[in-house]
Homo-oligomer: A and B are copies of this chain.
Amino acid sequence: MFFQTNILTVTVLSYMLIKFIPAIGWLRNYPREHLSGDLNAGVTVGIMLIPQGLAYALIAGLPPIYGLYAALVPVLIYALFGTSGQLAVGPVAMVSLLVATGVSDFAPSGSAEYIQMAILLAFLVGLIQFLLGILRFGFITNFLSHPVLSGFTSAAALVIGLNQLKHLVGLPIPRSGGVFEILKYVAVHVAQIQIPTLVIGLAGIAIILILRRLTPRFPGALIAVIVATLAVWTMELEGVGVAIVGSVPVGLPVPSISFFSVNAIRELLPIALAISLVGFMESIAVAKAFASKNRTTINPSQELTALGLANMAGSLFHSYPTTGGFSRSAVNDQAGAKTPLASLVSAGIVGLTLLFLTPLFHFLPKALLASIVMVAVVGLVDVREIRFLWRSNRSDLALLALTFVSTLVLGIEKGILIGVASSVLTFIYQASRPHMARLGRIDGSDVYRNIERYSEAHIDRGIAIFRIDASLFFGNVEFVRDALSDFLDSNDTTKVLILDLYPVNRIDSSAQHAMFDLHRKLSDGNVHLLLSGVKGPVRDAFENSGLSTLLGEDAFFLRIDDANQRALAIAGSYLDDGPAEDNSAS
């Protein structure tokens, strides 16, 4: 007995452990046939991460090395705790932009303080995501609508791309959220554009695009990096004003918590919240897409936990906020990734690079990093969605346009706020209108159907039967109460109201109050209330609140037809004998 309990405990504990650290599960039963795919994908993504990391660090306003730090520890930690075999975590363009937007209000770009705040931001984002994850709040992303996300992403992509223009043309364009200011600056200073820088940038874009078209899985960005670095080195282009990355530190990041500052936390909290949600949205969308494609499943709350741990652990090793990226995950999937082992391999490649290869980046021109970013963000501009909505849903297109324009004109932060606000309003509007149907009896049967649908459904005189097709809670019960009230006000011959509550699985206290209100209104008007199909949990709630006692045990019926038989008897007594006061509900 004791032994059995122990076995049970061990089983439960190991189940919980695997649930929390999925890596234990897939490593223990690792299928040999996945190995070659995982290795191939891991190496491919690892090679992709190096130029991407350097480039995205530029977007975030950080020295390039921080992009590599962000591609190391978070990638390792996600591999242990994540549930997606294809998701490639690391620095991504959108989150990098949000970091730049959020931190540059408080410290000059690239300064020591700026770097500390970006790392603190990773810790905060991680903590928020981790807490939401263990509280099983994976569902919160449900409230952001697709058009809003699409509009925001497209606008952010344009902002990111245009903010890289300064590196591509070699002009000291001041950092700005305003797209038009950047274009104006370039137009005014067009004579000062550095031709060698521009040539490198454009050549970089051309190389990446051509190689991508020819061999999609070939590391085009890496080839461009090598060519550009060699060009600058051999032709000494640094001397004609081409900005280079310069000396990059060698070695793995050393753990540190020096970034911690209570004052800064208060300032960074709003942007940390925004990054937590936007980052998770991006990641979960990608993870779901590839899980569906590979016929596996992911667990949204565990994904939140894993991203949270990746960001928190990353912050201890100089990483800024990271998440799962779309293009990298697509490459991961195409290259054959089946388990997070691929991510472990990618992190290994980045680790080796940090240990041995960083001196090679000295002559890498920043213009080339800008071209990597620009090619990447063009893919984020979602023209297909605009075309889709133009054909199928103009009001959703308006929502997309609203988010797009406000992000472009008012900046990233206000754009997110406006997008979230319009999403939430749409959500509340939709969710507060549950489906209801007035039912009638199919003649000669005990079947009751929606009278709008079945013209043969028969309505008995003095009786109204409504079915409510949603669980009732504070958000939708007002609609139900108002609809029933309006119906009763305009149908004063109704003597019995039957509510079929079979589709109602839960009922909260606000909905119970509404039932009391409804009962009071009905009593005032001498209308009887009968309920059919009330399920166990709802029945219990009615018992506890005293509603069962108020309505009387004989007001509850299993089937609509039983309730209707009773209703016919009640309504009949009114019709035959005139209003019978003693029959009215108490």
Chain A positions near chain B (C-beta within 8 angstroms):
137, 139-140, 142-147, 292-293, 295, 297, 388-389, 391-393, 396, 423-435, 437, 447, 450, 453, 469-471, 473-476, 478-479, 485-486, 489, 502-503, 505-506, 508-510, 512-513, 517, 520-521, 524-525, 533, 541, 544-546
| Interchain Cβ contacts under 8 Å between A and B, 5 examples | A143-B474, A292-B485, A292-B521, A424-B424, A427-B428
CB <8 Å contact, B545 and A388:
yes
Q: Given A297-B489, A396-B509, A509-B396 in contact, is the A544-B435 Cβ separation under 8 Å?
A: no
Q: How far is the CB of A273 from chain B (nearest CB, A)?
A: 11
Nearest CB in chain B: distance from A369 CB, A: 33
Give which listed residue, B142, B432, B433, B485, contacts A428 with CB less than 8 A.
Answer: B142
- The residue in chain B whose Cβ has the minimal distance to the Cβ of A424 is B424
Please tell me which one of the listed residues B427, B437, B524 contacts residue A474 in the complex, with CB atoms under 8 A apart.
Answer: B427
Residue in chain B with minimal CB distance to A394: B544
Q: If A427-B475, A428-B140 touch, does A509 touch B147 (CB 8 Å cutoff)?
A: yes
User: In the complex, A515→B425 CA distance in Å?
Assistant: 23
8 Å CB contact of A145 from B139, B489, B508: B508
Closest residue on chain B to residue A520 by CB atoms: B292
A474/B393 in contact, CB under 8 A: no
A538 CB → nearest B CB, Å: 11
Known: A434-B470, A435-B503, A469-B503. 10 other contacts (CB 8 A): A295-B521, A295-B524, A295-B525, A389-B509, A392-B544, A396-B510, A423-B474, A430-B471, A435-B470, A470-B470
Question: Which chain B residues lie closer than 8 Å to A475 at the CB level?
Answer: 142-143, 145, 427, 430-431
Of residues A143, A513, A533, which shows the largest number of chain B Cβ atoms within 10 Å of its Cβ? A143
Copy total for this chain: 2
Q: Cβ of B392 and Cβ of A142 under 8 Å apart? A: no
Q: A469-B470, A474-B142, A509-B396 are in contact. Are A297 and B485 (CB under 8 A)?
A: yes
Nearest opposing residue in chain B for A391, CB measure: B544
Task: State A546–B506 Cα separation when bound (angstroms).
Answer: 37
Query: Given A137-B425, A453-B502, A509-B389, are A142 and B544 also a contact pair (CB < 8 Å)?
Result: no
